[in-house]
Chain A
């Protein structure tokens, strides 16, 4: 893997507040090597490590994208939901920003059934057939459609299991992480001081509470994906 320049500088990260952790009482002792100090009852993560891991993660993501792999970004916190959606749309990846339904990847065949239903409903809506039905049926179908759009809207272009999964908050998306581990899908995870760094394949110690910090990290990863994709298209 060649190392490229990803415009990661420590001042920017400090401004965004990437180095803040959670309160001292809530920490996971496995995070001890990544914590540099304790200030006012909050753990402070070591930014050099974060920067290093982030650049390696970007390299990996660039490499994978230049080989045409599929990505999935999972982030269901209310703060992060819109960010995840816009980031994924920018990078042309799949995303999950409403609740991550249990068994979405391990029970992929059932998720596919739902996706088929979604597609049929969409096609009918486009063709205008929903307006010809009686009001009650039309209302029911529209409600189903909006439901499916909320939960599965981000993965509507996903034909099979993804190759790399990016998870925004490990505590929140624990089910998603477990599923990826059973299936053997490499994961990149934003770890905070109360998370376990051994679960994900690549863990980036960062702050998952502040919108600015999530935005920054997603920004770097997304730019890496975009570059990788463009090099894939060029070399195809």
Chain B
């Protein structure tokens, strides 16, 4: 028996779904937003660096994007569509014949520590326990840790996952304290494969290289996909703003190239867009303009998606 489905907008729908053919629960329709975002609320999203946790009790649904949802096959769809107003009857499945309820966890025979350790080790390996009962190597977790070499700086790791980095701006920023001035470097980096994934990141450190690395890590956490047509351009015009920066993007015919300034150009190039026009309208701040292009790009939709969503043929959209 399935709960009937009017999904209230205040419930989360995580992107952890696998449609099982035998599932008795009806899956809610695909959200209109690109699948990176899992909130059904209509607030505009600003692509920002990972949000700081405020301890005040939240009054609105969350806007967090899961950065490492590894458990893609855990099916929590039942709980996405719960209508709390509706009456649910609890009709338990019939117990199988001769069902004996298992003992509670604190009753039953107490196990010795060795038995417990052996059982854990069977399942997980010795991990960080420091001793083995079954004779495995207790230093098995060492290979996962990066070794700091004795020379000081570790070798710079090559580009790990096909995302190219480009530095937009490196600035020296100062904090004045009682003892003098403390200098740091702030790097803004745009990361992208040329296939439609881009991310903008910021990072600060005392050395330029460290700052660049930090910002690259940050950028990899905020990747978005750019909707692109077959001629490597946008589907339609759009403008986005972030802070005081406003950016206007416009598609162009093939052969035009990317005609845009500074930060906007770098973001579009790293996304793999080959033909586009862009203009920074208000502020010229590099970071804000990079973020504004990301906002603008997120607002774009492919024609086919919109047509499918609205249930009309694509020709109607071009009238």
Chain A residues with a Cβ under 8 A of chain B: 1, 3-10, 30, 32-34, 48-49, 51-53, 55-56, 60, 63-64, 67, 69-70, 83, 86-87, 89-92, 112, 115-116, 118-123, 125-126, 152, 156-159, 161, 163-164, 174-175, 178, 181-186, 196, 198-199, 201-203, 215, 218-219, 222-223, 226, 229
Binds A, one of B67-75, B245-253, B303-311: B67-75
Once the chains are docked, how many angstroms separate the CA of A7 from the CA of B84?
Answer: 24
Contact B120 A157 (CB under 8 A): yes
Q: List 30 A-B contacts (CB under 8 A).
A: A1-B75, A5-B94, A5-B95, A34-B84, A48-B90, A51-B90, A56-B79, A63-B74, A64-B71, A86-B105, A89-B116, A91-B105, A116-B141, A116-B145, A121-B130, A122-B130, A122-B131, A126-B131, A157-B124, A159-B127, A161-B70, A175-B53, A181-B64, A186-B74, A186-B76, A196-B57, A199-B62, A202-B76, A202-B79, A229-B123
Chain B interface category by residue count: 35 or more
Name the B residues within 8 Å of A201 (CB-CB): 12, 14, 76, 79
Name the B residues within 8 Å of A83 (CB-CB): 106
Contact B105 A183 (CB under 8 A): no
Q: Find residues 73-90 in chain B having any chain A CB closer than 8 Å to their own CB.
A: 73-76, 78-79, 84-85, 88-90
* Those 4 A-B pairs whose CB atoms lie nearest each other, nearest first: A184-B66, A122-B130, A33-B84, A184-B69
Kindly report which residue of chain B lies nearest to residue A223, judged by CB atoms.
B102
Residue of A30, A185, A226 with most partner-chain B CB within 10 A: A185
Name the A residues within 8 Å of B12 (CB-CB): 198, 201
Chain B 27-53 near chain A by CB (<8 Å), digits 1 or 0: 000000000000000000000001101
Chain B residues with a Cβ under 8 A of chain A: 10-12, 14-16, 20, 23, 50-51, 53, 55, 57-58, 61-62, 64, 66-71, 73-76, 78-79, 84-85, 88-90, 92-96, 99, 101-102, 104-106, 108, 111, 116, 119-121, 123-131, 138, 141-142, 144-145
Name the B residues within 8 Å of A198 (CB-CB): 10-12, 61
How far does the Cβ of B156 sit from chain A's closest Cβ, in whole Å?
18
Name the A residues within 8 Å of B102 (CB-CB): 223, 226
Candidates A67, A112, A125; contact of B145 at CB < 8 Å: A112
Given known A-B contacts A4-B93, A7-B101, A222-B105, A161 and B68 have beta carbons under 8 A apart:
yes
Once the chains are docked, how many angstroms separate the CA of A71 from the CA of B93?
Answer: 26
Candidates A1, A34, A196; contact of B20 at CB < 8 Å: A1
Name the B residues within 8 Å of A52 (CB-CB): 88, 90
Once the chains are docked, how many angstroms separate the CA of A48 from the CA of B3?
Answer: 14
Given known A-B contacts A92-B120, A196-B58, A67 and B73 have beta carbons under 8 A apart:
yes
Further pairs besides A63-B75, A158-B127, A199-B62: 5, Cβ < 8 Å: A5-B93, A55-B92, A115-B141, A198-B11, A203-B79
Name the B residues within 8 Å of A156 (CB-CB): 127-130
Candidates B10, B57, B58, B141; contact of A159 at CB < 8 Å: B141
How far does the Cβ of A188 sit from chain B's closest Cβ, in whole Å?
9
Residue of A34, A116, A222 with most partner-chain B CB within 10 A: A116
Name the A residues within 8 Å of B88 (CB-CB): 48-49, 52
Kindly report which residue of chain B lies nearest to residue A48, judged by CB atoms.
B90
How far does the Cβ of A190 sit from chain B's closest Cβ, in whole Å?
14
Candidates A5, A91, A222; contact of B96 at CB < 8 Å: A5
How far does the Cβ of B289 sit from chain A's closest Cβ, in whole Å?
27
Residue of B51, B73, B89, B127 with most partner-chain A CB within 10 A: B127
Name the B residues within 8 Å of A122 (CB-CB): 129-131
Contact A33 B85 (CB under 8 A): yes
Kindly report which residue of chain B lies nearest to residue A54, judged by CB atoms.
B90
How far does the Cβ of A151 sit from chain B's closest Cβ, in whole Å?
13
Contact A3 B101 (CB under 8 A): no
Contact B130 A123 (CB under 8 A): yes
Name the A residues within 8 Å of B130 (CB-CB): 118-123, 125-126, 156
Name the A residues within 8 Å of B20 (CB-CB): 1
Given known A-B contacts A1-B20, A69-B74, A198-B10, A157 and B93 have beta carbons under 8 A apart:
no
Contact B93 A183 (CB under 8 A): no
Given known A-B contacts A5-B99, A184-B69, A198-B10, A115 and B128 have beta carbons under 8 A apart:
yes
Kindly report which residue of chain B lies nearest to residue A102, judged by CB atoms.
B53
Once the chains are docked, how many angstroms separate the CA of A58 from the CA of B71?
Answer: 17
Once the chains are docked, how many angstroms separate the CA of A152 from the CA of B128?
Answer: 10
How far does the Cβ of A33 sit from chain B's closest Cβ, in whole Å?
3
Name the A residues within 8 Å of B145 (CB-CB): 112, 116
Contact B129 A186 (CB under 8 A): no
Name the B residues within 8 Å of A196 (CB-CB): 57-58
Name the B residues within 8 Å of A175 (CB-CB): 53
